[in-house]
């Protein structure tokens, strides 16, 4: 187990606060978290003094249905939290705003067996819905916090507060390190939680196989896999013998590509569209063996995002070249679910097929960390096409 995950789980099990760092967001953010069922008045005071942000309760959507809390109207911002109506404990509180009152409300949220009698709205605690499937479905702080509680078999209701500096901005790396040092706290990163879950939990299953003749690259064997977290169906096209054991020193040619419907189906101009799909299949055909893994996205709004991004790219092409920083921002906006998900699903599919040592078809030289957890090794890379 990753040392940061292990340490965080140990602390949370003891009811100690942990710093959750969202390192997959466009701008790094940090949150103080701990199980709501064990929160104290002193914990609330610490959050108010050192996090400074609003105190929230991340609640698993299944438990949210049990509590019967209605959702607030959705924001146009797709990255916004899913807030329910605010709540208060019916008994054991005065104004609801004191540290003792808010701790009482959080404990009632986590332990109530009769929520309609124990809770009232509005109040001073702001619940956030976390999705079933956690960070493997949505890589956000609420999901990450409740994933940690699930790993220690605690009720999936996390007290959390966003860390801000004295000017009300997100704290930076220096302030994160200082907070950890001053209060002898431990931190855990969302990317570590994603990687840990992807490497320890089976998230795909083989559901169908068939021979697939292709127009430009001959016969492949198609393997259809279903994601256990969101029911998306992914495709692996296999040519030749690709199964390896621990002693096999051979190298399997592999391409992992994410779905881009706008380009793949309609031929829209995109460097990640069907042109690279075709090139990869031709290279595998020429090599005589290999695997192409095609990762699909079931999320609502995916196609509309691609259309909008395509228009943005056309507009940008008529302007002076954007800086690397500007291009990076557009990429993050377009890819709301970062590549960790694709790597994890692709790695599990390759693992299921018996692939161990890989020659990766990719124009990227970026290191993919954590693949050893999947028993995969990228031995070398081959450019798919000229950039």
Report the C-alpha gap between 150 and 130 in whole angstroms.
12
List, for residues 77-110, the tens digit of each pLDDT value. Answer: 545 688 999 999 999 999 999 999 999 999 999 9
Calculated CA dihedral for residues 364, 20, 341, 79, nearest 10 degrees: -100
**CB 379: neighbour CB atoms within 10 A?**
13
Residue 353 has pLDDT above 90, yes or no: yes
Report the C-alpha gap between 44 and 47 in whole angstroms.
5
Sign of CA dihedral 44, 50, 56, 59: negative
Least confident of 43-52, 244-253, 261-270: 261-270
Least confident of 7-16, 73-82, 289-298: 73-82
List, for residues 209-238, the tens digit of each pLDDT value. Answer: 999 999 889 999 999 999 887 788 999 999
Average pLDDT over residues 122-145: 90
Residue 339 has pLDDT above 70, yes or no: no
Residue 293 has pLDDT above 90, yes or no: yes
- In the numeric block, which tokens belong to residue 283? 């290279």
Report the C-alpha gap between 231 and 216 in whole angstroms.
30
Report the C-alpha gap between 114 and 108 in whole angstroms.
10
Domain covering 3-198 in this structure, CATH number? 3.90.870.10
What pLDDT score was predicted for residue 331?
A: 34
Spatial contact of 7 and 19, defined as CB atoms under 8 Å apart? no
How does DSSP classify residue 227?
E
What pLDDT score was predicted for residue 152?
A: 95
Q: What are the angstrom distances between the C-alpha of 18 and each of 11, 12, 179, 238? A: 7, 7, 11, 44
Q: Which residue's structure tokens are 């693992």?
A: 351
Domain covering 203-299+337-382 in this structure, CATH number? 3.40.50.10990
Sign of CA dihedral 169, 166, 9, 37: negative
Show Cβ contacts of residue 66 under 8 Å, excluding neighbours closer than 6 positions: 115
In the structure, what pLDDT confidence band is assigned to residue 362 with cuts at 50, 70 and 90?
confident
| 43 half-sphere exposure, CB direction, 13 A CA radius | 25
Q: Indicate where the chain has its CATH 3.90.870.10 domain(s).
A: 3-198
Q: Indicate where the chain has its CATH 3.40.50.10990 domain(s).
A: 203-299+337-382
Name the residue with higher pLDDT: 370 or 150. 150
List, for residues 157-203, the tens digit of each pLDDT value. Answer: 999 999 999 888 999 999 999 999 999 999 999 989 988 888 888 88
Spatial contact of 293 and 346, defined as CB atoms under 8 Å apart? yes
Any idea how long the chain is?
387
In the structure, what pLDDT confidence band is assigned to residue 49 with cuts at 50, 70 and 90?
very high
Name the residue with higher pLDDT: 336 or 108. 108
């Amino acid at each position: 187990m990753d040392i940061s995950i292990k340490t965080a789980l140990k602390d949370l099990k003891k009811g100690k606060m942990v710093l959750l760092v969202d390192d997959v967001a466009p701008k790094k953010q940090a949150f103080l978290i701990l199980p709501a069922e064990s929160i104290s008045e002193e914990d609330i005071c610490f959050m108010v003094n050192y996090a400074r942000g609003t105190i929230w309760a991340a609640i698993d959507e299944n438990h949210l249905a049990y509590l019967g809390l209605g959702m607030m109207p959705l924001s146009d911002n797709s990255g916004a939290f899913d807030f329910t109506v605010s709540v208060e404990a019916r008994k054991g509180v005065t104004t609801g705003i004191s540290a003792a009152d808010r701790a009482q409300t959080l404990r009632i949220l986590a332990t109530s067996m009769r929520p309609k009698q124990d809770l009232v709205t509005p109040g001073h605690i702001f619940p956030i819905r976390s999705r079933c499937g956690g960070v493997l479905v949505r890589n956000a702080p609420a999901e990450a916090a409740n994933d940690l509680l699930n790993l220690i078999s605690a009720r999936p209701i996390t007290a959390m507060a966003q860390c801000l500096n004295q000017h009300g901005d997100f704290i930076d790396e220096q302030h994160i390190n200082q907070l950890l040092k001053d209060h002898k706290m431990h931190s855990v990163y969302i990317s570590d939680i994603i990687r840990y879950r992807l490497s320890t939990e089976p998230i795909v299953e083989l559901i169908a196989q068939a021979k697939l003749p292709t127009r430009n690259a001959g016969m492949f064997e198609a393997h259809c896999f279903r994601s256990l977290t969101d029911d998306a169906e992914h495709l692996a096209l296999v040519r030749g013998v690709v199964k390896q054991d621990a002693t096999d020193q051979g190298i399997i040619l592999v391409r992992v590509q994410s779905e881009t419907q706008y380009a793949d189906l309609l031929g829209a101009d995109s460097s990640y569209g069907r042109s690279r799909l075709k090139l990869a299949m031709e290279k595998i055909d020429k090599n005589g063996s290999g695997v192409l893994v095609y990762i699909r996205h079931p999320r609502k709004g995916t196609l509309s995002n691609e259309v909008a991004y395509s228009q943005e790219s056309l507009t940008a092409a008529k302007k002076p070249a954007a800086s690397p920083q500007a291009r990076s921002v557009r990429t993050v906006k377009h890819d709301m679910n970062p590549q960790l998900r694709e790597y994890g699903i692709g790695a599990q599919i390759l693992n299921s097929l018996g692939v161990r040592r890989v020659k990766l078809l990719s124009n990227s030289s970026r290191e993919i960390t954590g693949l050893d957890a999947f028993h995969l090794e990228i031995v070398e890379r081959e450019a798919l096409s000229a950039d």
